[in-house]
Chains A and B, each alone.
Chain A
Amino acid sequence: MKLLNTLLAGAALAIGLGGMAHAEDKTKVGFVYVGPVGDFGWSYEHDQGRQAVEKAFGDKVETVFVESVPEGADSERVMTQMALDGADLIFTTSFGYMDPTINVAAKFPNVKFEHATGYKRAENVSTYSARFYEGRTVIGHIAGHMTETNTIGYIASFPIPEVIRGINSAYLAAKKVNPDVKMKIVWVYTWFDPGKEADAASALIDQGADIIMQHTDSPAAMTIAEEKGIYAFGQASDMKQFGPNARLSSIIDDWAPYYIARTKAVMDGTWVSTDTWDGIKPGMVEIGEFSDKIPADVQASATAIKEALEAGTMHSFTGPLNKQDGTAWLAEGETADDGTLAGMNFYVEGVEGEIPN
Chain B
Amino acid sequence: MDISAVALIASLIVAATPILLAAIGELVVEKAGVLNLGVEGMMIIGAVVGFIAAVNTQSAFVGFVAGALAGGALSFLFAILTQYLLSNQVASGLALTLFGLGLAALLGHGYTGIKPPASPKMEFFGLSELPVLGPTVFHHDLMVYFSITLVAGVWAFLKFTRAGLVLRAVGENHDAAHALGYKVVRIRVAAILFGGACAGLGGAYLSLIRVPQWTEGMTAGAGWIALAIVVFASWKPWRIILGAYLFGGVTILQLNLQAIGVDIPVSYLSMAPYLVTIVVLVIMSADRARASLNAPASLGRIFHASN
Separation of A312 and B297 alpha carbons in the complex (Å): 71
Inter-chain contacts of B213 with A (CB < 8 A): 194, 219-220, 223, 242
Do A352 and B215 touch across chains, with their CB atoms under 8 A apart?
no
The reply on B183 being an interface residue by CB < 8 A is no
Which has the most chain B C-beta neighbours within 10 Å: A159, A207, A220, A357?
A207
Q: Which of B8, B210, B259 contacts A204 (CB 8 A)?
A: B259
Chain A 136-171, CB-CB to B under 8 Å as 1, else 0, gives: 000000000000000001000001000000000000
| Cβ contact within 8 Å between A4 and B255 | no
Q: Is the CB of B259 within 8 A of A3?
A: no
CB distance from B277 to the nearest CB of A (A): 16
Interface residues of B in 87-130 (CB under 8 A from A): 94, 98, 101-102, 105, 108-109, 112-115
- For chain A, residues 324 to 357, give those with C-beta under 8 angstroms from any C-beta of chain B: 352-354, 356-357
Quick one: which of A213-253 are within 8 Å of B by CB?
Answer: 218-220, 223-224, 226-227, 241-242
In the bound complex, CA of A196 to CA of B274 (Å): 14
Smallest beta-carbon distance B201→chain A, Å: 16
- Asked if A63 is at the interface (CB within 8 A of a chain B CB), the reply is no
Contact A203 B11 (CB under 8 A): yes
Whose C-beta in chain B lies nearest to the C-beta of A227?
B212
A-contacting 9-mer, from B137-145, B163-171, B191-199, B216-224 = B216-224
Contact of A220 among B3, B109, B215 (CB under 8 A): B215
Chain A residues with CB below 8 A from B18, complex form: 195
Which chain A residue lies CB-closest to B2? A207
- Which of A3, A38, A184, A226 makes the CB contact (< 8 A) with B105? A38
**B220 & A195 in contact (Cβ 8 Å cutoff):** yes
State which of A186, A207, A227, A356 has its C-beta within 8 Å of the C-beta of B267.
Answer: A356
Instruction: Identify which of B11, B102, B113 contacts A241 (C-beta below 8 A).
Output: B113
Complex interface residues of chain B between 245 and 279 (CB less than 8 A to chain A): 251-252, 255-256, 258-261, 265-267, 270
Give per-residue flags for A183-200: 1 if the beta carbon is below 8 A from chain B beta carbons, else 0. Answer: 011111110111110111
Chain B: interface residue count, which band?
35 or more
- B98 near A184: Cβ-Cβ < 8 Å: no
Chain A residues with Cβ under 8 A from B266's Cβ? 159, 187, 354, 356
- State whether the Cβ of A288 lies closer than 8 Å to any Cβ in chain B: no
Q: Answer whether A352 and B112 are a contact pair too, CB < 8 Å, given A7-B98, A219-B213.
A: no
Contact B1 A208 (CB under 8 A): yes
**In the complex, how many angstroms separate the beta carbon of A288 from the nearest chain B beta carbon?**
14
- Across the interface, do B222 and A203 meet the contact criterion of CB distance under 8 Å? no
B256: chain A residues within 8 A (beta carbon): 203, 206-207
Given contacts A195-B218, A220-B213, A352-B261, contact A4 B267 (CB under 8 A): no
When the two chains form the complex, which single residue of B1, B15, B109, B215 contacts A199, counting CB atoms closer than 8 Å?
B15
Is B11 touching A206 in the complex (CB atoms < 8 A)?
Answer: yes
Closest to B268 in A: A356
**Which residues of A from 1 to 24 have beta carbons under 8 Å from B?**
1, 3-4, 7
Are A186 and B255 touching (Cβ within 8 A)? yes
CA distance A268 to B220 in the complex (A): 42
In the complex, the chain A residue whose C-beta lies closest to that of B8 is A206
Residue of A at shortest CB range from B11? A202
Is A135 in the interface zone, CB < 8 Å from B?
A: no
Contact B212 A223 (CB under 8 A): yes
Q: Within the complex, which residue of A40, A153, A187 is in contact with B112, where a contact is CB–CB below 8 Å?
A: A40
Complex Cα spacing A207 to B2, Å: 8
Is the C-beta of B7 less than 8 angstroms from some C-beta in chain A?
yes
Q: Are B11 and A199 in contact (CB under 8 A)?
A: yes
| Interface hits, A64-83 → B, CB 8 Å | 68
Instruction: Tell me whether A195 and B113 are in contact in the complex, defined as CB-CB below 8 angstroms, given that A185-B258, A207-B1, A352-B261 are known contacts.
Output: no
Q: What is the CB-to-nearest-CB distance from B18 to chain A, in angstroms, rounded to a whole number? A: 8
Q: Say yes or no: A153 contacts B98, CB within 8 Å.
A: no
Report A-chain residues with C-beta under 8 Å of the C-beta of B219. 195
Residues of A near B252 (CB, < 8 A) are 199, 202-203
Q: In the complex the two chains form, is A206's CB within 8 Å of B211's CB?
A: no
Say whether, besides A4-B101, A187-B258, A189-B270, A356 and B113 are in contact (CB < 8 Å): no
**B206 interface residue, CB < 8 Å from A?**
yes
Tell me, yes or no, whether B307 is within 8 Å of chain A by CB.
no
Q: Which residue of A lies closest to B269 (CB)?
A: A187
Alpha-carbon distance between A4 and B251 when the two chains are bound, in angstroms: 27
Q: How far is the CA of A22 from the CA of B215 in the complex (A)?
A: 36
Q: Which of B8, B11, B102, B215 has the most CB of A within 10 A?
A: B215
- Chain B 126-154, CB-CB to A under 8 Å as 1, else 0, gives 00000000000000000000000000000
Q: For A37, list chain B residues within 8 Å (CB).
A: 216
Tell me if A39 is interfacial: C-beta within 8 Å of chain B. yes
Q: How far is the CB of A30 from chain B (nearest CB, A)?
A: 20
Q: Is the CB of A39 within 8 A of B216?
A: yes
B4 at the interface (CB under 8 A from A): yes
Assuming the A-B contacts A4-B101, A38-B112, A40-B113, are A184 and B210 also in contact, with contact meaning beta carbons closer than 8 angstroms in the complex?
Answer: no
Cα distance, A219 to B216, chains bound together (Å): 11
- Give the distance in Å from the alpha carbon of A186 to the alpha carbon of B254 in the complex: 9
A35 within 8 A of B: yes
11 more CB-based (< 8 A) A-B contacts, given A37-B216, A38-B108: A36-B217, A38-B109, A192-B220, A195-B15, A195-B206, A195-B220, A202-B11, A209-B259, A219-B213, A352-B261, A353-B261
**Residues of chain A having any CB pair with chain B under 8 Å:** 1, 3-4, 7, 35-40, 68, 153, 159, 184-190, 192-196, 198-200, 202-204, 206-209, 218-220, 223-224, 226-227, 241-242, 352-354, 356-357
Pairs A–B under 8 Å by Cβ, sample size 25: A3-B98, A4-B98, A4-B102, A36-B217, A37-B216, A38-B109, A38-B112, A39-B217, A40-B113, A153-B259, A184-B259, A185-B259, A186-B258, A187-B270, A188-B270, A193-B220, A194-B213, A195-B222, A198-B211, A202-B255, A204-B259, A207-B256, A207-B259, A242-B213, A354-B266
